[in-house]
Structure 1
Amino acid sequence: MFEETLEENSKLQEESLHLVTFELSGEEFGVDIMQVSEVIPVPRITRIPQAPECVKGLINLRGKILVVIDLNKRLGFQPKDTDSLSRILIVEVKDTVTGMLVNSVKEVMHLPLSSIEPPPEIIKSKINSEYLTGVGKVGDRLLIILNLAKVLGEEEIEELNELSSAKENI
């Protein structure tokens, strides 16, 4: 009996994607929970002169300086002022830890792989298609699944590392 339950649980994990979901510009997005180390309220953000447009600034997270990316700006949406619902996802992409500012975090969920489809053309016209893993159907809602490794390209990751290390050396 116990072994059967374990087997069913492992099948559930194999056949679903574990996501953190959040809102940007009125749309619901999700990212693989394995890339998110924590979700924090928005602390004081220090702006960086001459930083790329999508870089909101720097935060001090328990003594570690992290660059914060405004995902609204990065994905080409209208930026939103931070409020009490705004959160920063602390994520690790290719050994780089960074913060991603989102409008609000919705939930942590398992999404069956069978309910994920390739992104339709209409979504590809709004967001660079390489940023997308797919679109998940959750009841009557649609969830846009992002590939964080593509949202931050190789050059940007290097630039983020330089911004973080330059600030730490001051």
Structure 2
Amino acid sequence: MLEHKDIVEEIKVIVFRLVDEEYGVEVNQVRSIEHMQKITRVPRTPDFVKGVINLRGIVTPVIDLKSRFDLGEENYTDTTRIIIVAVDDMEVGLIVDAANDVIDIPVNKIEQPPAVVGGINKAYLRGVAKLSDRLLIMLNLDKVLSNEEIQAMSSMER
């Protein structure tokens, strides 16, 4: 007789690094991962908005997550990447220190975030995944940018 096993729902996550912490975003929100490239500065934007890039003919706004989360100065290296994500039907580039892993996380391993994790406000977080050998901070991309910031960025795309 077949033994009935509980099926654990999993999500596929892109893992990236900011300073000394690992973060994750769901793969279904990620369009691509790009090497660092020339960013054209746009006047009168917040400090964390680094400007725009021309990505395969599409003008894409780029934000620096370290700057957004007040995690210190940007130091771009050979491992720095721009993760292109979809937020409110708009593509936005997120500058991260490194992006080098895709993993499956059981949904039941994701816990509610504490008020502040690594100096980052709970509002930006979906949760914290406790895996056997690592802790992964799950970002809530819909909260990383406010509605006003998203509207301002969508005008940058045009």
| Structure 2 length-normalised TM | 0.91
Identity fraction in percent: 40
- Aligned position for 2:29: 35
- Aligned position for 1:49: 43
Write 1 or 2 for the structure with the bigger share of helix.
Answer: 1
Distance 1:122 1:92 in 2: 25
- Aligned position for 2:56: 62
Aligned pair in 2 of structure 1 residues 152, 54: CA closer, same or farther (>3 Å)?
same
Q: Which of residues 114, 125, 138 is equivalent to 2:131?
A: 138
AA aligned opposite 1:143 = L
AA aligned opposite 1:135 = V
RMSD: 1.7
Q: Which of residues 4, 10, 22 is equivalent to 1:16?
A: 10
Q: Secondary structure at the match of 1:45?
A: coil
CA apart distance, 1:122 = 4.8
Unmatched runs of 5 consecutive residues or more in structure 1: 166-170
| Structure 1 length-normalised TM | 0.85
Q: Which of residues 98, 104, 122 is equivalent to 1:104?
A: 98
Unmatched runs of 5 consecutive residues or more in structure 2: none
Q: How does 1:131-170 map to 2 (within 5 A)?
A: 131-165=124-158
Is the 2:116–2:122 contact (alpha carbons within 8 Å) kept by the matching residues of 1?
no
Aligned pair in 2 of structure 1 residues 128, 122: CA closer, same or farther (>3 Å)?
closer
Q: Deviations over 1:59-98 (max 9, x none)?
A: 1101111110001111121132211100001111111111
Write 1 or 2 for the structure with the bigger share of strand.
Answer: 2
Q: Deviations over 1:8-67 (max 9, x none)?
A: 9xx45xx11211010012110001111101101011111122221111111110111111
CA apart distance, 1:140 = 2.6
Distance 2:115 2:95 in 1: 26
Distance 2:116 2:71 in 1: 15
AA aligned opposite 1:78 = G
AA aligned opposite 2:148 = E
| Count of residue pairs the alignment pairs up | 154
Aligned pair in 2 of structure 1 residues 106, 51: CA closer, same or farther (>3 Å)?
same
Moved segments of 4+, more than 4 Å: none
